[in-house]
Amino acid sequence: MICHMSATATFSRLGRAVTRRPWLVIAGWLLGAGCLIAFAPGLGSVTTADQAAFLPGTAESSRAAELARRAFPDAGGSTAVVVVQRADRAPLTDADLATAARLGPPQISENRAVALVPVRFPGPAEAAATQHAVHDLRASTAGALQDTGLVAGVTGEAAIAVDNAGAFADAEKIVTLATLVLIVVLLLLIFRSPVAALLPLLTVGLVYGVSAALVALVGHALDRQVGQELPTMLTVVLFGIGTDYVLFLLFRFRERLRAGDPPGEAIVAAVERVGAAIGSAAFAVIAAFGALVLATLGFFATIGPALAIGVAVMLLAALTLVPATVAVLGRWTFWPSRGPRPGRGGFARLGRLVARRPALVVAGSVLVLGALAAGVPRFVADYDPIGVLPAGTEAATAFGDLQRGFPAGAVQPTTVYLTADHALTEAETAAFTQRLAAVDGVASPMPPRVAGDGRTVAVPLVLAATPYSAEALDLVGGPLRDAARAAAPAGTSAVVGGPTMAFADVRAATDRDLMVIFPVAALLFALILAGLLRAALAPVYLVALVVTTFVATLGATAWLFQGLAFSIPIILYLFVTAIGTDYNILVTARLREEIREGRSPREAAGLAVARAGPTVGAAGVILAGTFGALLISGVPFFIEIGFAVMLGILLAAFVVSSMLVPAITALAGRAAWWPGLRPDRAHVETIVIKEEARQGERFGS
């Protein structure tokens, strides 16, 4: 009880300090944000689309890439392939091939369906110069083949990067606009006040600018990059949880106004009552994001802390900037309407159901979640960067055209490097190449390349399978690598490199990271919940429910999509598991508050649903809608994320937090709060509470 009173007093003092000089707080935020945004580098300066760049140096593909840089310094950069075919898709004639030769020496398929013209760029695929060169290549190719009866498309590493960057940039614009419109509409429906609707948007917009600047500064200071998905993910995270935190405050502020508090006291009481819940929720999310530093894959290890920075800034704004702004606005915050009276409507009826039939609610909810979770065995991870491109992009279309005449692996061969402590002979190279060509799944070897000192040979191999398919990843990470090591002569060593091997390493790193991060995050969640609730049982089943939500969401998504982006589980971890915990914390904190005021466990459960349910429901709808905006992005990767997280948030808000948590707590009774809350202490609390017990409507009245 002392800890609880100490935390309450702390947030009460914070609320009074902020609202005593609100204009000073607002001015400080605006000045600090303006300076950061004006002088910090842009977020785009620390983002990259290259997943392989996030691999540790010990990975097979990383070691192969380092060997290639030393042995073949002139072979760096990136590649693309021009795919030439007749417009009528008939076989290429000799005249057609002569025309195609204007673009460079062509490679002709046996069925003459297509011809390939390889192109090499000096810089990496993500470099601005390379991306400009790809655009120029596409323009010059179209010009060279005009009125010839031939058509061409550019695909391959560099072209995929160009189309990927364009798709993600377009998606970010679409998602941001849709998110803004959606949040405004939903907030107007919830509060029927343009002021209350704009407050979260303006706050989150300011926080986004500060967060992006801080991430860019940290990235430059540590010389680290983050995935190109970060800007879009940061947008939806901040608009999602930021709106949640503002809603938590506004709902409680409105509740205190209706209880008769003057506006100044009402906002202080709001900070006092929900400050601990907001703080605990934010720290749970920060802990979940921060746990990603344990990942070996740099994509996870960098994007997690980057998002954690954004959440930390949002927490600071929620407890300072928002109360200060509300203190200035006062009752005008809800102009011209105060909205519907609490205690009436769907959540009040749901609260009565939970209080009267908690076992039935638990059984029904578990049945729904179990049915969804049954789809988990269908989950198949997809590592194909071409698959994330919107339909109709040139790189994806040309890649499909290429397969009319060549194995899918022709666009990005796998290279095996043989290095020795002596100059390799032609016989050694030939025997090594022959052994590799005999591996099942290798379509054909390409001419080996020998380093200047003769001690390293690069053997490119065209795989029969699509370069990023599960079959190809299994091949390079298993039989091919084993065969290369077995075929290496005495005094030599072999490593497998290339894009396929890089994604095989990404897969291995992802599998390892998920096995490490999930248990660590669960432990952190339990500790944070135990600190908030000072109870032993409640944190256990709350964490179990978080895991159940994750599994059900992944299963439901697997039911709908054939093959999901490999990062979907970690994305669900980031958003459903971490952010969904916000709602559990808010409902549980309200449950504890009702118990401390002397109510029975079942009555407390019903009141918690009736009073906290509208906040959780509104926050859940807004956050789910925010991610739902990804469904119109046109990028398959974002569509999968949008559906998965939207469903997960709705399950977390309306099934788990609004039904399962209070129902299980009602069944557990006071044992859920042991040892932090005892009957006699609850009775003492009823003596010292303020007028809320007198003014609060009895459940069901």
Domain with residue 142: its CATH number is 3.30.70
- Higher pLDDT residue, 168 or 311? 311
Same domain, 540 and 670: yes
97 — pLDDT class (breaks 50, 70, 90)? very high
Q: Which of 277-281, 475-479, 570-574 has the lowest mean pLDDT?
A: 570-574
Same domain, 119 and 193: no
SS3 (DSSP) at 403: coil
Same domain, 174 and 122: no
Same domain, 252 and 309: yes
Same domain, 453 and 574: no
Nearest-5° Cα angle at 639, 633 to 643: 125
Same domain, 455 and 539: no
Same domain, 493 and 544: no
Mean pLDDT score, 182-188: 82
Indicate whether 71 belongs to any domain: no
Same domain, 167 and 35: yes
Indicate whether 406 belongs to any domain: no
* Mean predicted lDDT score pLDDT of the chain: 85
Mean pLDDT score, 297-323: 89
Indicate whether 685 belongs to any domain: yes
Same domain, 151 and 179: no
Return the pLDDT at 691: 40
Indicate whether 192 belongs to any domain: yes
Same domain, 125 and 247: no
Indicate whether 306 belongs to any domain: yes
497, 515, 538 - which closes a domain: 497
Domain of 610 in residue numbering reads as 2-50+163-385+504-695
Indicate whether 433 belongs to any domain: yes
Same domain, 471 and 516: no
130, 155, 180 - which closes a domain: 155
497, 513, 537 - which closes a domain: 497
- Higher pLDDT residue, 388 or 538? 538
CATH of the domain at 632: 1.20.1640.10
Return the pLDDT at 176: 75
- Please report, for the chain, how many H helices and E strands are present, in that order: 26, 13
Same domain, 459 and 356: no
Give tens-digit pLDDT for 206-218.
999 999 999 999 8
CATH of the domain at 491: 3.30.70.1430
108 — pLDDT class (breaks 50, 70, 90)? very high
- Higher pLDDT residue, 698 or 94? 94
Class of residue 36 by CB neighbours under 10 A (exposed 0-12, middle 13-18, buried 19+): middle
| Nearest-10 crossing angle of helices 22-39, 2-20 | 80
Whose CA is closest to 422, among 499, 480, 491, 501?
491
Indicate whether 615 belongs to any domain: yes
Return the pLDDT at 678: 54
Indicate whether 66 belongs to any domain: no
What is the C-alpha radius of gyration for the chain, rounded to an integer number of angstroms? Answer: 29
SS3 (DSSP) at 632: helix
Q: How many domains does the structure of the chain reveal?
A: 3
The CA distance from 577 to 587, in Å, is 16
240 has pLDDT over 90: no
